[in-house]
Amino acid sequence: MNGKCNLCPHECGINRKEKLGFCRASDKVLVASYGPHFGEETPLVGRNGSGTIFFGYCNMRCVFCQNCELSFGGEGEIIPNEDLAQIMLTLQNHYRCHNINFVTPTHFVPNILEALSIAAEKGLHLPLVYNCGGYEKLETLILLDGIIDIYMPDFKYHLAERGEKYSKVKHYPQKVKSALKEMDRQVGGLKTDKNGIAYRGLLIRHLMMPGGLEDTKKILKFIKEALSPDCLVNLMQQYYPAHQAFKYEELAKRLEPQEYKEAFIFAEELGLRLAN
């Protein structure tokens, strides 16, 4: 990575070889863990699992983060891009995973691209999943056009104030909407093979939060009106007050079952394609 880092909407503009920006990552890739993962959505998991690579650090600061040891603490090992390429090949050739799933990859896009070039020369052929928080920059996504097969972004908030308060990001709704439209342009709705395994397309996650029903409805309505009708939507109900959520009274509790039920019915009435 050379010069100023402007990979994400923070646009820190710093040289990560010399100092750290918002994400706190250097120019070297930090891998927390990797292996077949069976907790992802069904079209990604299949029989052999999704080949996940969890990266350290993040370009968001979600106060309820369930992986705070990685995203805030930077758990993991700094490795050369050649080793990252070998991890991809191991997930493909040894574990027989159905895809390579980059988890929180935004701040390491240059490293990933170099590693992919190395791995492709050695036979990497699996679909590539870009599993992100949704706070993406269009110019970075355009670099990935024709490379990433499956985009799996979060759409966390429809209110910008919630993004600033709970994730320390500005203009989140504006950025995520632009990002989702670009992802949709590149790959369209989620496509699966005869075995139900995804090989291309857009899968959107939305973690419902307590008291956020109206925000959720606006997100679902945007997906319906602005994106391909066969995008897969995972409306998630497993929120719990992790990390620093206890500091916020409205977040220091679980989601009410009735809130989720109402949101799910709303999504069905919209005609969205929902994950099981």
12 inside domain: no
Number of domains present in the structure of the chain: 1
CA 266 remoteness from chain centre: 24
Which CATH number characterizes residue 98's domain? 3.20.20.70
Domain assignment present for residue 254? The answer is yes
Phi-psi sector, 219: left (phi>0), alpha (psi -120 to 50), beta? alpha
Angle ∠(129,135,136) on CA atoms, nearest 5? 65
Residue 143 covered by a domain: yes
Whether residue 2 lies inside any domain: the answer is no
Length of the chain: 276
Instruction: Report d(CA 142, CA 145) in Å as an integer.
Output: 5
Tell whether 18 is covered by a domain.
no
- pLDDT digits over 127-159, tens only? 999 999 999 999 999 999 999 999 999 999 999
Q: How far apart are CA 43 and CA 45, in angstroms?
A: 6
The 10s digit of each residue's pLDDT in 226-261 is: 999 999 999 999 999 999 999 999 999 999 999 999
Residue 23 within any structural domain of the chain:
no
Position 43 in a domain: yes
Predicted model pTM: 0.97
Average pLDDT over residues 59-70: 94
Long-range CB contact pairs, 185-189, < 8 A, 24+:
186/141, 186/144, 186/145, 186/146, 186/148, 186/151, 187/148, 187/149, 187/150, 187/151, 188/228, 188/230, 189/228, 189/229, 189/230, 189/231, 189/232, 189/273
Domain of residue 265: give its range: 29-274
